[in-house]
Amino acid sequence: MTGLCGLLASLQLQQGKPIDAEAIRAALLNTATPCDPDVVEEPERCLRGIVNLPGATNVLFGPSVTISFTEDGATRTERPAISPARVAPPAAALGSPDYPAATLSSSTSVAAATPTAVNPSTAYSGNVYALGTLGYDFGDEASLDTFKERMTKEGMTDPYDPRQMVDYLDSNPEEARSLIWTLILNGDIIYALDPKGSFAADVYEMFLLMLAGQLEPETSNDFVDRISVSARRTNRTVELFSGEVVPVVNLRQPRGIYGWNVNARANS
């Protein structure tokens, strides 16, 4: 984009005009082609749309200047505008009666060629940045019974007790994948958190640290009263043990997962 803006600014100078960066910006934004989410692989990166250089050039310089790109660089072509003096008069039969020349009524207005509004791009962002508290769910009776059976063998009898769950997962970190991790805001479950990719194990480890921090006394500097997550939307939903259906988001790395400790910040 910097190179294109520099090229357009150079053309302004070559046309004898002062550099107008704001006009270049407006031309590029107003003529951008909206992205099609079904075609663009990452529509959230498209922002306003796809650069329409011919359209921007037409807005800035009119149809007499075109820009084309080759392997050797950018090529500018100027077509001289046709002036009325160079246009041959239309052939007319001699002796034809004279009629008064047609004039444009003063009440007639010509619509401006410059667009007055910008059509928003259809691109959308699949990113999720959310705050809340961390929780977990079993999904169904079979999963709950499995955790009861396995935890009982280690002297833990209540899978719903977060302290027991933290101790169990600390000894059996691979079992974290069998839970449905949830993000809760104001008492409502807003997302099911599904770690994916090569850093999934690191994300589950962060979940365990955040859950343990939420169990600390509120007066402790290790207390976590809220977490943040950075995730990606999916087209999937999951049914919780209660029957509630919530959207699923993917977390592919621990970056963006933080525990907010108000007490530690207040004492710092």
* Cα distances (Å, whole numbers) of residue 83 to 24, 79, 80, 88: 27, 12, 9, 11
Residues 166, 237: one domain?
yes
241 and 136, same structural domain?
yes
- Are residues 159 and 234 located together in one domain of the fold? yes
Which of 57, 80, 103 corresponds to the end of one domain?
80
> Are both 75 and 134 inside the same structural domain?
no
> Do residue 188 and residue 252 come from a single domain?
yes
Instruction: Count the Cβ atoms, other than its own, within 10 Å of residue 159.
Output: 22
Query: How far is 182 from 170, CA to CA, in rounded Å?
Result: 19
Considering the domain architecture, whether residues 136 and 255 belong to the same structural domain is answered as yes
- Give yes or no: residues 218 and 146 share one domain: yes
pLDDT per residue as tens, the chain (268 positions) = 888 888 898 888 888 889 999 889 899 988 988 877 667 666 666 667 788 888 888 888 887 555 555 555 555 555 554 444 444 444 444 444 454 544 444 444 434 444 455 555 444 568 899 999 999 999 999 999 999 999 999 999 999 999 999 999 999 999 999 999 999 999 999 999 999 999 999 999 999 999 999 999 988 888 999 999 999 999 999 999 999 999 999 999 999 999 988 777 777 6
- Looking at the 3D structure of the chain, how many domains does it have? 2
Q: Using a cut of 0.75, tell me whether the model's pTM lies above it.
A: no
Q: Residue 57's domain spans which residues? A: 2-80
pLDDT at 82: 40
pLDDT of amino acid 219: 86
